[in-house]
Amino acid sequence: MKLISIVGARPQFVKAAVISREIAIYNKKNPDNNIEEIIIHTGQHYDNNMSKIFFKEMQIPEPQYNLGICDCSHGAMTGRMLENIEVILKSVMPNAVLVYGDTNSTLAGALAASKLHLPVAHIEAGLRSFNRRMPEETNRVVTDHLSDFLFCPTETSVKNLHSEGIGSISNCFEKLPLVLNTGDVMLDAVNFYSRTGKSQINLRYFLDAAYDGYYLTTIHREENTNNKTCLKNIFAALRSIAKKRQVILPLHPRTKKFVSMFNINTNGISVIDPVGYFDLLNLLRHSKAVFTDSGGLQKEAYFFQKPCITLREETEWTELVEHGFNILTGANKNAIISAEKSFDSKKLDYSGNLYGNGHAGMAIIETLGKYLF
């Protein structure tokens, strides 16, 4: 059986690493029914620290195809990806195509496969922020409605799909589309790489004796970076917070461009280059809390039992907000500062289990093996 994985952005590399490892385990258990994995890298993240380093340090098989499509508008990027992916799929004709998350690479892969009547498996299906102004929301909604296998990280995401008429509520195992709550593959990744990954970052540089620990911050979404007012408000809040606790900011290439363009003041903030996954986990593990507009880092903060302040008006990870682990502030300076103060004095109970048992990758591969062989 041939499976094609389509990736293009950092969170997808992490998820693909989980799937690659589970395919290797599955093949050892099933020598007569092996799965051949073929990886297409669209090139959506082209910076070395945003792409190549992940393949190297996470031991993901090198992509057989690298399309090099980046640095263009949403329409141009998605269209070029669709065209190029279609050519590869026609040549390989895999048994199924795996897409991850909610990027342009996800949508292009799902469109190309569905038009060729190839089964589409969407990993991290069913997420909804209910904000159609976000390109990620459009990508995930369309991908879900094109998919045959919808692997959901939470029960909430299963319910979202059922409410849209995707899958059977009574017995979703009888026919496709198949909707299945596997748990979150990102939990698999954190559990595995927390034990095996080797971070190169020197934490002593950040553990300043003048501060009581540090906050980890990431900013990359268009609604924050491309908007001068939003970006200035976020950095104003971070500068204020940094007066009492160090703020570490691995600077995304897009954010770096707009920080320079808008002449944003970063004084007092510890701005560093983008970091690899192992370094990010290490920084997260020793942080006091997280400020981010990332989707994945909200969950990773929860996995490490760190409160999270999300610099967005909404989130697809609604259960984190409902249980008090996450506060949505948008780009409002006062709301960000207020959220930090509330978390600094609050104790949270992380004894629950919102994202499965850490074996999502195994459930996904065994399900595909059952249905496609």
Looking at this protein, which amino acid is placed at residue 149? F
pLDDT recorded at residue 350: 92
Based on the domain organization, do 169 and 229 belong to the same domain?
no
pLDDT surpasses 80 at 173: no
Question: Alpha-carbon distance 112 to 97, whole Å?
Answer: 9
pLDDT band at 48 (very low <50, low <70, confident <90, very high): low
For residue 195, being part of any structural domain is answered with: no
For residue 133, name the pLDDT band (cuts at 50, 70, 90). confident
pLDDT given at position 211: 66
Query: Which carries the bigger pLDDT value, residue 276 or residue 149?
Result: 149
Query: Is residue 145 located within the same domain as residue 238?
Result: no
| Total length of the chain | 373
Residue 192 lies in a domain: no
Q: Show the tokens assigned to 136.
A: 């990620």
Q: How confident is the model at residue 171 (pLDDT cuts 50, 70, 90)?
A: very low
Per-residue pLDDT at 52: 64
Domain count, the chain: 2
Average of per-residue pLDDT values in the chain: 91
The CATH number covering residue 23 comes to 3.40.50.2000
31, 52: one domain? yes
* CA separation for the pair 161, 322 (Å, rounded): 19
Same domain, 40 and 167: yes
Q: Which two tokens stand for residue 21?
A: 């490892």
Q: Do residues 250 and 283 share a domain? A: yes
What pLDDT band is residue 170 in, cutting at 50, 70 and 90? low
DSSP letters, 292-353, are E--SHHHHHHHHTT--EEESSS--S-HHHHHTTSEEE-TT-HHHHHHHHHHHHT------S-
Give the C-alpha distances (Å, rounded to integers) separating 371 from 5, 21, 32: 17, 20, 16
Q: Tell me, what amino acid is at 311? A: L
Residues 162 and 222 grouped into a single domain: no
pLDDT category at 168 given cuts 50, 70, 90 is: low
Pair 14, 57: CB distance under 8 Å: no
228-240, pLDDT tens digit by residue? Answer: 999 999 999 999 9
Average confidence (pLDDT) over 176-195: 94
Please compute the mean of the pLDDT values over residues 125-135 and round it to a whole number.
92
Residue 70 inside a domain? The answer is yes
Instruction: Point out the residues that are catalytic.
Output: 220
Higher pLDDT, 201 or 29: 29
| Residues 212 and 103 both lie in one domain | no
pLDDT at 366 over 50: yes
80-118 pLDDT, tens digit each: 999 999 999 999 999 999 999 999 999 999 999 999 999
Dist CA 321 CA 338 (whole Å)? 16
**Residue 349 covered by a domain:** no
153 and 10, same structural domain?
yes
When pLDDT is averaged across residues 34-49 and rounded to a whole number, the result is: 83
Residue 177 preceded by cis peptide, ω within 30: yes
Note whether 98 and 135 are same-domain residues: yes
CA angle, 171 then 177 then 180, to 5°: 60
Domain residue limits at 236? 203-344
Strands annotated E in the chain: 2-7, 36-41, 65-66, 96-100, 120-123, 149-152, 178-181, 214-218, 246-250, 270-272, 289-292, 308-310, 326-328
pLDDT at residue 266 greater than cutoff 90: yes
Query: What b/e sequence results for 70-105 when a residue is b if at least 16 CB atoms lie within 10 Å of its CB, and e otherwise?
Result: beeeeeebbbbbbebbbebbeebebbbbbbbbbbbb
Longest dimension (CA), the chain: 61
Helix (H, G, I), strand (E, B) or coil at 237: helix
Kindly tell me the number of DSSP H helices and DSSP E strands found in the chain: 15, 13
Are residue 15 and residue 151 in the same domain, yes or no? yes
Task: Please give the share of the chain, as a percent, with pLDDT higher than 90.
Answer: 75
Mean pLDDT, range 328-333, rounded to an integer: 98
Statement to judge: residues 144 and 243 lie in one domain: no
| Residue 155 and residue 28 in one domain | yes
Asked if residue 21 belongs to a domain, the reply is yes
